[in-house]
Chains A and B, each alone.
Chain A
Amino acid sequence: MKLSFNIALRFLNSSKGQTFLIALGIAIGVSVQIFIGSLIQGLQIDLVDTTIGSQPQITITSTSDDKLIGDYESRLSDISSDYEGVKHVSPSADGPALVTSDEENYSILVRGLSFEAAEGIYKTKERLVEGSLPENKNEVLIGTTLKDESGIQIGDEVDVLTSSGENQALTVTGIFDFQVANLNSSWVLTTLETAQSMFSYDDRITGIEMQVEDVFLADTISSDIQADLPEDLLAENWKDQNASLLSGLNGQSVSSYMIQVFVMISVLLGIASVLAITVVQKSRQIGILKAMGIRDSAASLIFVFQGLMLGIAGAILGILLGLGLAYVFTRFALNPDGTPVVPLYINPGFIALSAGFAIVVSTLAALIPARKSSKLNPIEVIRNA
């Protein structure tokens, strides 16, 4: 065992150029894997985060005639405590309304939130570009688009007409920017109490919103919640509403796996063929070792060890190359504002997996020459001297 390892090491050492080339071949395979993997994962995480990161991933609404949920406090605490993986459970009381400014009407959605609970979902503090969050009754936030279109400023008192025909004067305390034009023009955020009194919901709300730890588990958690809800409440999750995004992500993952698999196959073939040649190069040595009594298994192990060592060297070099490539990419492939085009996601687990895979593949590739060396008969070498 140790002798085989030792001989393998000497063989690799004696032809440094060849060793370096094989290791470099493996390294390039590994680095492409790591780079493409990090790129695709980063792309997906970015996409998922942009799409659903700042919105509820599971929403509970009522299917009753008035669309209202009563006695919500206990339900909120039940959901937070009973289901694993649920975070940021937040009530909302929404209602449509019209806001009038300079004789023009703008259609809005008044969203009454508990800002403290909703912070986890909407990150309102981060999104606030001017002013401050509403603290008192009848204070609201408006979006940047609505501000630009209507000319409403911080401190202005605006008239809001609810769908039931009631008028309410609200004071603007801040401007938010959700980076989605639709939300920036239609949403008006206020406290839960303000919305409840505006729309005469009393102590009821229109929805319970939440996020989950693993966004891809939203559907199973959602159906778990649904099972425990009364009939007139409905739990919906982002996956049902974003089927096309999901299939896009899936397609991306599949194509990324395909690339990675074929990269590894070409690496495997490369190593196998080069190592097969080294058996021929070293046939004299193997022949004399066999004449001196080395067992076939030990002779095979020499090549397996070579594959293993090349795999390890290639994996380490590949990780460095891949990370270097990733670094260069995030440094130089930039948006006009200086942020990377795609933020890479460096996942140590994935990198370890790629490296481990390369090592296994190299060792497997070495089995072909190992078999060949096991079959080598010393008499052939000695006769053909």
Chain B
Amino acid sequence: MRNVIELKKINKIYGSQVKTQVLFDLDLAIEEGSFNSIIGQSGSGKSTLLNIIGTLDQPTDGEVYINGKRTDQMNKNELATLRNETIGFIFQFHYLLPEFTALENVLMPYRIQYGKVPADKLKRANELMALVGLEKVKNNKATNMSGGQQQRTAIARALMNSPKIILADEPTGNLDSETTETVYNLLRDINKEMGTTFIIITHDRRIAETADRIIEIKDGRIALDI
């Protein structure tokens, strides 16, 4: 399988007065269609790593290739388009727009890129809502759902543009263990059925162990990669 993500010699330094180096010469390649988990203590640099992969953050130096394209030299608009088409995000907090219904939130990535929603895309959004088991509450405002429902809506939203990669930062951090189980099974199913590449940060070893590959980050370096 080819690598859908490649990081070469990534350094990340925060601050200009007091410099804090978070990542040290980090090399990482992620295979297309794989299901990866990143573990590590808080402050180890795992979220920074994920944000750099997601092009939300820029490395201080080093090269980032997403889907074969070098991103650390792209301008903001190119990055925006790349994110929209290639990457789906799931954060610890759902970040749904409370002004819109669940279904409208799911459609949002499509509308950002293409504007008007044709019938087949609306159908896809409905199918995604069904996939995450929310067809009954799809017309609820985002604020009118339970935490698990909100997070599952966020997952459906991340899938809307059929991205190659889904980046998830503690996607179940705010959920109870039962819901956590449901959400992880859902993510695994999506990975199997759609071949979407997953990188998931988690502190839950039990869940990390179900992944194809576990990467442990310690003090800005890869400490373990199995």
Contact = CB atoms under 8 A, between A and B. Distances in A.
Interface of A: 1-3, 6-7, 10-11, 13-14, 284-285, 287-296, 298, 378-379, 382-383, 385
A295 B81 CA distance: 8
A2 B99 CA distance: 16
Given A7-B99, A10-B99, A385-B93, A292 B54 contact: no
B127 interface: no
B112 A294 contact: yes
Contacts of A292: 83-84, 89, 108-109, 112, 157
Contacts of A296: 76-77, 80
A10 B112 contact: no
Given A10-B100, A292-B109, A293-B85, A3 B80 contact: no
B98 A14 contact: yes
Chain B interface extent, by class: 20 to 34
Contacts of A385: 91-93, 95
A294 B97 CA distance: 14
Interface in B86-110: 89, 91-93, 95-100, 108-109
Contacts of A6: 111
B15 interface: no
Nearest to A374: B76
A379 B115 CA distance: 25
Contact of A382 (B51, B76, B81, B111): B51
A226 to B, nearest CB: 66
Given A3-B115, A292-B109, A379-B51, 8 more contacts: A3-B112, A7-B97, A285-B95, A289-B112, A293-B81, A298-B112, A378-B56, A385-B91
B56 A293 contact: no
B51 A295 contact: no
Nearest to A9: B99
Contacts of B91: 382, 385
Contacts of A383: 47
B51 to A, nearest CB: 6
Nearest to B89: A291
B20 to A, nearest CB: 14
B42 interface: no
A376 B100 CA distance: 21
A381 to B, nearest CB: 8
Contacts of A298: 112
B57 interface: yes
A293 B109 CA distance: 7
B113 interface: yes
A286 to B, nearest CB: 10
A294 B83 CA distance: 9
B16 to A, nearest CB: 16
Interface in B188-209: none
Given A293-B81, A294-B112, A296-B76, A13 B99 contact: yes
Nearest to A13: B99
B84 to A, nearest CB: 3
Contacts of B77: 295-296
A377 to B, nearest CB: 8
Given A3-B111, A379-B56, A290 B80 contact: yes
Contacts of A2: 115-116
A291 B83 contact: yes
Contact of B99 (A3, A11, A288, A295): A11
A10 B108 CA distance: 13
Contact of B95 (A7, A10, A284, A294): A284
A293 B161 CA distance: 11
B116 A293 contact: no
A186 to B, nearest CB: 76
A288 B97 contact: yes
Given A13-B99, A285-B97, A385-B93, A294 B80 contact: yes
Interface in B20-73: 47, 51, 54, 56-57
A293 B112 contact: yes
Contacts of A378: 56
A289 B96 CA distance: 9
CB-CB nearest 7 A-B residue pairs = A293-B84, A10-B99, A288-B95, A293-B83, A14-B99, A293-B80, A385-B93
B75 to A, nearest CB: 10
A291 B166 CA distance: 13
A287 B95 contact: yes
Contacts of A7: 97, 99
A292 B161 CA distance: 10
Given A10-B99, A11-B99, A14-B98, A291 B116 contact: no
Contacts of B98: 14, 285
Contact of A379 (B57, B92, B157): B57
Contacts of A382: 51, 56, 91, 95, 169
A107 to B, nearest CB: 82
A287 to B, nearest CB: 7
Contacts of B81: 293
A3 B85 CA distance: 17
A378 B158 CA distance: 16
Nearest to B93: A385
A285 B56 contact: no
A110 to B, nearest CB: 81
A126 to B, nearest CB: 63
B122 to A, nearest CB: 15
